[in-house]
Amino acid sequence: MQIGFFGVRGSYPCPGAAWARYGGNTACVVLTRVGEPPLLLDMGTGMVAFGAAQALDSPFRGTALVTHAHWDHIQGLPYFAPVNRPGATLDVYGPTEGGLSLNEVFDLAIAPPVFPVSWRDLSGDIVFHDVATGCFTVGGFTVWAGTVPHPGTMVGYRVEGDGAAIAYVSDHQMPAERGVVDVGVLSLCERVDLLVHDAQYTDEEFSNKPDWGHCTIDYAIEVARQASARQLAFFHHDPAHDDGVMDALAAKAVEQARERGVDAFVAMEGTSFELRS
């Protein structure tokens, strides 16, 4: 199973030379297996870059697992060129919100007057699937969905394929008691080969934004430690953290993780590797 990072930022895109090395696109991680359509984790602006790399000689087939409908996780969809072609199909899984189905949420999010066209105007077929907690299959992938603390309705995903397991917890509201991790989150992350986890804030930043739905780098390490994850990818980087800031944070974060028995790295846009058990 191959994993590719196409968008690693949270909140909003941050283009420019100062963000070029770590990347400025919002959340989109792609899993691929030989002979399988791709499986996208979130549809931020990184989805656009993924789409630009797709062959156009046959209609696109793929699936997206959406954690929640905040803009930084869905804003790539209307610009995803492969689905704006006849014969293309994209299945989108995600949670309901406030009594609305996922389909209805997107009817509000991508439609006039807040966007020039509806998602329904794209040439391909987009099929929405409401996700509750539990297990389902997507092609050769086995997927578990579980609730994650965050404003609104938010799910994380555990995906298994080819004997390897990845957990994707893109946004995670850190509790006041920092040593406590939600049991549902721990269940998703337990002994995964890779945990991709929210690490948006420093301790100082979190003290000014304690209810913004995210967590510190240190808390991401704690989740990985308690879950016995084999490897941790720091993800959902704050757009205020340019490459210079990220270099400093990365060096410290990786060392902090190592001291607590966690093998960690900082997710960077444009990187990919084989995920092995």
CATH numbers and ranges of domains, the chain: 2-274 (3.60.15.10)
Q: Is 2 exposed, middle or buried (0-12, 13-18, 19+ CB in 10 A)?
A: middle
Buried b (16+ CB within 10 A) or exposed e, 162-181: bebbbbbbbbbbbeeeeeeb
184-203: per-residue pLDDT in tens?
999 999 999 999 999 999 99
Q: pLDDT value at position 252?
A: 97
CB atoms within 10 A of CB 277: 11
Cα–Cα distance measured from residue 202 to residue 271, given in angstroms and rounded to the nearest whole number: 24
Q: Which uninterrupted H or E stretch holds 30?
A: strand 28-32
Residuewise pLDDT in 10s, the chain (277 residues): 999 999 999 999 999 999 999 999 999 999 999 999 999 999 999 999 999 999 888 999 999 999 999 999 999 999 999 999 999 999 999 999 999 999 999 999 999 999 999 999 999 999 999 999 999 999 999 999 999 999 999 999 999 999 999 999 999 999 999 899 999 999 999 999 999 999 999 999 999 999 999 999 999 999 999 999 999 999 999 999 999 999 999 999 999 999 999 999 999 999 999 998 7
Q: pLDDT value at position 90?
A: 98
Q: Is 117 exposed, middle or buried (0-12, 13-18, 19+ CB in 10 A)?
A: exposed
Q: pLDDT value at position 56?
A: 82
CB atoms within 10 A of CB 17: 8
